[in-house]
């Protein structure tokens, strides 16, 4: 096996669409990897492409570095992953990656999850009536309530982000998480191609935006990437209708899966994700689990120093 830079967009996306995961394949799309920067490499056996990896080099103190590959690498045969990881060395301290299935390799260390380890996927092969029947009764009630209250849903362009940006700021403050700067989301919404679509969907009530989602369509999956909602008029249940309209529209586009992009790993009611997980699971779907984010350690002593410095940094924050 050998590693080469891959410059053919069509070849790259075709491989990712064929062998990529149902959840998160968009992170390995040609368009997304171009936005993220870094390097696109292919793994070849002779002239046959057997794997791809969208890579980013992360600098560390002491002029050290590691290479990161989120929701991948992606292979046509999972068993070749070890040989591929060794090709990514490049004198790095470790390779941070997210395998699509369980693997057993020495020198692997679990670390914090970068993309969701656990998610929920709603299968779009069912009719609208069957999808409603699979929902929690309260979810169906809230969808109908939102419709009766006069909530409407519109799909907007990237230029409309300013209209709903206050909702994202409001949500971050309410739920205690840190937003990227506005340009980050604007850059996402500016991604356009025949194969990948990032767009904004907004629920309105009496002319005001109450809920907004940033969605990604790629490789047969519609992904709920980011969401925001207002602190006011929560009784009209705008997020419920917003997702239902997105699910129905995804079916008309011929998409196969609706990925909720992350749920809690347990049913612990004290889990930080417990509330949003209840909301998502109300729509029904299949729980999908991945191994999570792993570090393939190449320089054990340097990796020990790296982790020690991380622990110190967390304590002094």
pLDDT of residue 317: 61
Q: Give 71-139 as a DSSP string.
A: T--EESSGGGHHHHHHHT-TT-SEEEE--SS----TTEEE---SS-SEEEEEETTS-HHHHHHHS-HHH
Classify residue 38 by its DSSP letter. S
Task: Quickly list DSSP for 283-313.
Answer: T--EEEE----EEEESSHHHHHHHHHHHHHH
Q: Name the one residue in this structure whose structure tokens are 């591929």.
A: 84
Strand partners, 286: 121
**Which position has the token pair 């005001």?**
208
Q: Where along the chain do the CATH 3.40.630.30 domains lie?
A: 2-115+291-316, 118-289
In whole angstroms, give the CA distance from residue 178 to residue 241: 26
Nearest residue to 70 (alpha-carbon basis) of 86, 87, 49, 52: 52
8 A C-beta contact, residue 140 and residue 130: no
Q: Which residue has the tokens 């409309």?
A: 160
Q: 0.85 exceeded by the pTM? A: yes
- Minimal CA–CA distance to 282: which of 178, 168, 140? 140
Ordered strands of the 152-156 beta sheet: 152-156, 197-205, 208-218, 221-229, 257-259, 118-123, 286-289
pLDDT along the chain (317 residues), means of 10: 94 97 96 88 96 94 94 94 84 94 90 96 98 98 98 96 97 91 95 94 98 98 97 97 98 98 91 92 97 95 94 78
Q: Are 96 and 294 in contact (CB under 8 A)?
A: yes
Contact 28, 36 (CB under 8 A): no
Return the pLDDT at 88. Answer: 82
Own/partner pairs for 10-13, CB < 8 Å, 24+ apart? 11/42, 11/49, 12/40, 12/42, 12/52, 13/195
Class (C level, CATH) for 118-289: alpha beta
CATH superfamily of 2-115+291-316: Gcn5-related N-acetyltransferase (GNAT) (3.40.630.30)
Predicted local confidence at residue 54, as pLDDT: 95
Q: Taking a C-beta distance cutoff of 8 angstroms, is the pair 7, 47 a contact?
A: no
């Amino acid at each position: 096996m050998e590693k080469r830079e891959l410059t053919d967009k069509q070849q790259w996306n075709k491989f990712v669409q064929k062998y990529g995961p149902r959840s998160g394949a968009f992170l390995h799309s040609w368009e997304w990897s171009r936005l993220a920067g870094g390097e696109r490499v292919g793994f070849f056996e002779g002239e046959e492409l057997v794997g791809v990896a969208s890579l980013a080099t992360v600098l560390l103190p002491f002029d050290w570095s590691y290479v990161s590959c989120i929701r991948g690498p992606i292979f046509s045969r999972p068993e070749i992953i070890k040989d591929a990881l060794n090709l990514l060395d490049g004198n790095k301290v470790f390779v941070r990656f997210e395998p699509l299935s369980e693997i057993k390799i020495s020198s692997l260390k679990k670390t914090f999850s970068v993309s969701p380890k656990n998610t929920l996927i709603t299968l779009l092969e069912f009719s609208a009536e069957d999808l409603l029947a699979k929902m929690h009764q309260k979810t169906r009630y809230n969808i109908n309530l939102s419709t009766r209250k006069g909530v409407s849903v519109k799909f907007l362009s990237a230029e409309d982000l300013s209209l709903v940006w206050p909702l994202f700021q409001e949500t971050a403050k309410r739920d205690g998480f840190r937003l990227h700067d506005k340009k980050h989301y604007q850059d996402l919404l500016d991604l356009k191609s025949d194969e990948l679509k990032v767009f904004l969907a907004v629920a309105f009530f009496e002319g005001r935006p109450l809920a907004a989602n940033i969605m990604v369509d790629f490789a047969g999956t519609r992904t709920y990437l980011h969401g925001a909602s207002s602190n006011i008029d929560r009784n009209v249940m705008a997020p419920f209708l917003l997702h239902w309209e997105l699910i129905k529209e995804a079916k008309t586009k011929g998409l196969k899966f609706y990925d909720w992009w992350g749920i809690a790993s347990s049913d612990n009611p004290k889990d930080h994700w417990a509330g949003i997980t209840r909301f998502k699971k109300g729509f029904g779907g299949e729980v999908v689990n991945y191994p999570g984010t792993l570090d393939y350690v190449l320089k054990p002593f340097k990796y020990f120093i790296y982790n020690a410095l991380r622990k110190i940094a967390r304590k002094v924050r």
